[in-house]
């Protein structure tokens, strides 16, 4: 989580000001904010509809009915990723998801690039994340 501080850490720091120097929160530190968003995207894209009782549509829908590798599958996953990020990651705006073909892997790797604007206290910053889908359907998100 980089230099992002959890709620209890921030409360403890305020209760004992002589504890050390002030560490910026994620919203004050662009790098930590980007890492926080990357970690949330990993959790979000690896969740499936119905896994959360309070938010039944949190995560991606089950894609098992589609033929893996078909153009319809890639387009459906791409659209689902974009919709899910737009709905559940408010720190990103102008989200655009594109499929990336890895020629070195012989087209057997499914990768998506997420381009967006990261909204922070200092303004909006262009960011991108890349997510690779494993054979088991797990998403690995990198910045």
Two tokens at 48?
Answer: 């499936």
Pairwise CA distance, residues 20 & 2, whole Å: 17
Torsion region of 23: left, alpha or beta (phi above 0 gives left; psi -120 to 50 gives alpha): beta
Q: Is the pLDDT of residue 5 over 70?
A: no
Domain contains 101: yes
Report yes or no on 8 lying in a domain: no
> What average pLDDT does this structure show over 119-127?
89
Q: What would the mean pLDDT of 43-64 be, rounded to a whole number?
A: 89
Q: What is the mean pLDDT of residues 41-63?
A: 90
Higher-pLDDT residue of 10, 130: 130
More confident residue, 115 or 8: 115
**CATH code assigned at 67:** 3.10.450.40
Q: Is residue 131 part of a domain?
A: yes
Domain assignment present for residue 4? The answer is no
Whole-prediction pTM value?
0.74
Q: What are 62-92's pLDDT values in tens digits?
A: 876 555 556 788 888 899 999 999 999 999 9
Does residue 48 lie in a domain region? Answer: yes
Q: Kindly provide the residue ranges of all beta strands, DSSP E only, lying in the chain, ordered along the sequence.
A: 92-101, 110-120, 123-133, 139-142
Domain range enclosing 129? 31-142
Nearest CA to 137 among 23, 72, 58, 45? 45
């Amino acid at each position: 989580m980089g230099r992002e501080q959890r709620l209890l850490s921030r409360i403890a720091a305020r209760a004992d000001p002589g504890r050390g120097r002030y560490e910026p929160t994620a919203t004050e530190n662009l790098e930590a904010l980007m890492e926080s968003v990357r970690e949330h995207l990993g959790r979000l894209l690896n969740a499936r509809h119905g896994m959360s009782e309070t938010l039944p549509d949190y995560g991606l829908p089950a894609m098992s009915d589609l033929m893996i590798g078909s153009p319809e599958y890639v387009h459906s996953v791409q659209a689902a990723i974009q919709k899910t990020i737009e709905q559940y990651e408010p720190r990103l705006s102008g989200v655009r998801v594109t499929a990336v073909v890895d020629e070195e892997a012989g087209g057997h790797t499914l990768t998506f690039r997420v381009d967006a604007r990261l909204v922070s206290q200092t303004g909006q910053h262009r960011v991108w994340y890349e997510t690779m889908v494993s054979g088991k359907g797990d998403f690995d998100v990198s910045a």
